[in-house]
Amino acid sequence: MSDPAPLTTDRPGQVASATPPARGRSRRLSDRGLAVAFISPALLLLLAMSVFPLLWALYLSFTDYSATRGGPAHFLWFENYTAILASAQVHLRALTTLIYVVGAVALQTVLGFTIAYLISRRTHGRGLLTTLFLVPMMLSPVVVGLFWRFMLDAQFGVINSMLGSLGLGQVEWLTRQRTALISLIVVDTWQWTPFIMLIALAGLTAVPKYLYEAASIDRASEWFRFRTITLPLVWPLLLIAVLFRAIEAFRLFDLVYILTSGGPGVSTETLSFHVYKVAFLGFNTGTASAYGILMVLVVIVLTQLYLRYLNKLKED
């Protein structure tokens, strides 16, 4: 504290290196004050709007509180948690969510990477192509959901109309158990393929040209080049994109709400939609909170994974 010199060698990027020694101390102190003054308002907002609500949810998750019944909450401790973890209903939703997340993210990754690869091989019109492909991603899930609902409509929908003119049968996209989940996956894929494409493209354009040139001097086959140069260099970035999408897909609510409302039956009820039903239709606030906390735990694990890879990517 008394001697600023060793501090500056610890952190070479530190601004303090240019400070004259006599004024160093007071400057550093005012810097600290400035840092606190600049950071704390943002942190306070986050504490009030994110951390406090979650802590409250954590408290409620141990009680039998109901938002409509009111009255004092009784402590149940882990009863809500055991009930949820043992519930066959929840297991079914978890399976639906898993199918949806894996299906949608896998499809997006394959398609998005393919498109990015094709675009990266073009020399002309790259910018225009990229811009066009990005449109779905920027739309609100509400708009996307509504619009696909119209297009997939069994009676007036343009998809069935096209199938009809091809001589194929009509499909009840959103009103049959099996097709509804597929429709959900297709719509999510349509919206988020551009996301994977955008990031894959960033990775692909960053691959140094000379690597390919060296490989072509060695007469390496196209597939060999792709497998040994392109994929290893793009993979870390692609993994980030995939994890990001997985978290987002796991949290997804709006598209389900608009497109199918979880139906028909419960065939498209994901975990987040089920939480909503428990909380806002069943008004079992305590149970819903426990359910939510469990979901938050999953998100935290996924986020940690994401941040770890992100860190790795930044350090390289």
Residues 66-85 that bind another protein (CB under 8 A): 67
| Minimum separation from the CB atom of position 267 to another protein (A) | 17
- Options 115, 204, 234, 242; binder of another protein; rule CB under 8 A: 115
Tokens of 94: 């978890």
| Minimum separation from the CB atom of position 210 to another protein (A) | 20
The yes or no reply on residue 42 touching another protein (CB under 8 A) is yes
Q: Whats the size of the chain, residue-wise?
A: 316
Convert 121-185 into a string of H (helix), E (strand) and C (coil): CCCCCHHHHHHHHHHHHHCCHHHHHHHHHHHCCCCCCHHHHHHHHCCCCCCCCCCCHHHHHHHHH
Q: Which of 85, 105, 81 is nearest to 93 (CA)?
A: 85
Pure H helices in the chain: 4-10, 21-46, 52-60, 79-86, 88-120, 126-138, 141-151, 158-165, 177-206, 209-217, 222-225, 231-251, 254-259, 271-276, 285-315
- Options 174, 181, 241, 242; binder of another protein; rule CB under 8 A: 241
Q: Which is nearer to another protein, 43 or 85 (CB)?
A: 43
- Options 1, 22, 49, 86; binder of another protein; rule CB under 8 A: 49
Contact pattern for another protein over residues 212 through 231, marking x by CB under 8 A: --------------------
- Alpha-carbon Rg for the chain, nearest whole angstrom, is 26
- Options 5, 29, 45, 95; binder of another protein; rule CB under 8 A: 45
The Cα–Cα gap between 191 and 105 comes to 11
The Cα–Cα gap between 280 and 253 comes to 14
- Options 39, 85, 95, 214; binder of another protein; rule CB under 8 A: 39
Tokens of 268: 């498209």
| Minimum separation from the CB atom of position 279 to another protein (A) | 5
Instruction: Determine the 3-state secondary structure of 267 from DSSP.
Output: coil
The yes or no reply on residue 116 touching another protein (CB under 8 A) is no
Q: How many residues bind another protein (CB under 8 A)?
A: 111
| Minimum separation from the CB atom of position 61 to another protein (A) | 10
Residues 242-261 that bind another protein (CB under 8 A): 244, 247, 250-251, 253-254, 257-258
| Minimum separation from the CB atom of position 87 to another protein (A) | 17
Stretch that binds another protein, among 79-87, 89-97, 134-142, 210-218 (CB under 8 A): 134-142
| Minimum separation from the CB atom of position 206 to another protein (A) | 7
The yes or no reply on residue 98 touching another protein (CB under 8 A) is no
The Cα–Cα gap between 99 and 145 comes to 19
Q: What is the DSSP letter of 251?
A: H
Stretch that binds another protein, among 7-15, 79-87, 89-97, 213-221 (CB under 8 A): 7-15
Contact pattern for another protein over residues 142 through 171, marking x by CB under 8 A: xx-xxxxxxx---xx-xx-xx-xxx-----
- Options 63, 80, 96, 285; binder of another protein; rule CB under 8 A: 285
Q: Residue type for 55, please? A: L
Within 10 angstroms of residue 100's Cβ, the number of other Cβ atoms is 22
The yes or no reply on residue 140 touching another protein (CB under 8 A) is yes
